[in-house]
């Protein structure tokens, strides 16, 4: 419990420590959930989440990517390049290119990468609102929408 004579600086430092602890706990819970969904070890689950989010965001309009990020754990989003280093326009690609990109990033076979992508997308959808999930889907081509919807 904070003491009555606590200075403003001490209050701010306490608040910052609590905030940082919350960020770490939220991220850890997300990774734990992804590990449960995918049976991946934590380090690979982290890499997979970053790879899939990076690829997915390359396909979304910048505004849509920011909206998605706002509902995901902040520490996950911090692994992405800063917004000013990202493309201004979506890169058009479909399911096969997404899977190939993630397979290459994670150095795994394409069939295994698809299973990992499904688990990551499911973990994302478990973190975001239904409305946001629908918005993401509506901004994807049919083959990626099908992959997104397979996880719901």
Residue 3 in domain: no
Burial class (CB in 10 A: 0-12, 13-18, 19+), 7: exposed
How many structural domains are present in the chain?
1
Residue 56 in domain: yes
Q: pLDDT digit string (tens) for 68-111?
A: 999 999 999 999 988 888 878 888 999 999 999 999 999 999 99
Q: pLDDT-derived band of residue 132, with 50, 70 and 90 as boundaries?
A: very high
Q: With contact defined as beta carbons under 8 Å apart, do 64 and 135 qualify?
A: yes
Residue 1 in domain: no
The DSSP secondary-structure symbol of 85 reads G
Residue 27 in domain: yes
Q: Work out whether the CA dihedral 115, 117, 123, 125 comes out positive or negative.
A: negative
Residue 124 in domain: yes
Q: With contact defined as beta carbons under 8 Å apart, do 124 and 72 qualify?
A: yes
Q: With contact defined as beta carbons under 8 Å apart, do 51 and 106 qualify?
A: yes
């Amino acid at each position: 419990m904070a003491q009555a004579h606590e200075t403003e600086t001490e209050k701010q430092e306490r608040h910052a420590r609590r905030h940082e602890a919350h960020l770490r706990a939220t991220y850890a819970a997300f990774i734990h959930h992804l590990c449960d969904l995918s049976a991946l070890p934590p380090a690979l689950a982290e890499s997979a989440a970053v790879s899939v989010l990076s690829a997915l965001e390359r396909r979304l309009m910048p505004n849509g990517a920011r909206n998605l990020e706002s509902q995901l754990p902040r520490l996950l989003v911090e692994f992405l390049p800063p917004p000013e280093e990202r493309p201004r326009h979506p890169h058009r690609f479909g399911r096969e290119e997404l899977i190939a990109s993630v397979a290459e990033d994670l150095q795994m076979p394409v069939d295994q990468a698809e299973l990992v992508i499904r688990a990551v997308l499911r973990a994302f959808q478990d973190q975001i609102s239904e409305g946001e999930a629908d918005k993401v889907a509506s901004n994807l081509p049919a083959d990626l929408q099908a992959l997104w919807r397979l996880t719901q």
